[in-house]
Amino acid sequence: MKTRSFKDLIVWQKAYKLVLEIYKITKVFPKSETYGLIQQMRKAAISIPSNVAEGYGRKHKAEYQQFLSIAYASLLELETQYLLSLDLDYINKNEIIENLIKEVGSMLYRMIFPIR
């Protein structure tokens, strides 16, 4: 099947689902984190599918890879914040989020550094 839109990309679909999951879990964070960890996690999560989409719309492969790299960096930022949230006991371990982080990370890495 030919990709007609960024929405056809599996990596974008999974990253989008990750955003929704992050919004769900951050709803239970303490109010004191409204402008701290909640905002940071949501921003990092949103950045992932957004950069995949923006990169897809670029004309040159190098630009696309640059945006994929930004998405990958945001994913690592989000993973760090997720781990911090666990250690602070704001949330319990979440298999869905952990699996999505692994899947999206693997996909982005392979897209940025394809096997030749």
Tens digits of residue pLDDT in 18-72: 999 999 999 999 999 999 999 999 999 999 999 999 999 998 999 999 999 999 9
For the whole model, what pTM was predicted?
Answer: 0.94
pLDDT at 59: 83
- In a domain, residue 15? The reply is yes
- At 75, which CATH number? 1.20.1440.60
Say how far apart CA 66 and CA 82 lie, in whole Å: 24
Say how far apart CA 52 and CA 45 lie, in whole Å: 12
- In a domain, residue 1? The reply is no
- In a domain, residue 47? The reply is yes
What is the extent of the structural domain holding 85?
6-26+33-112
The structural domain count of the chain equals 1
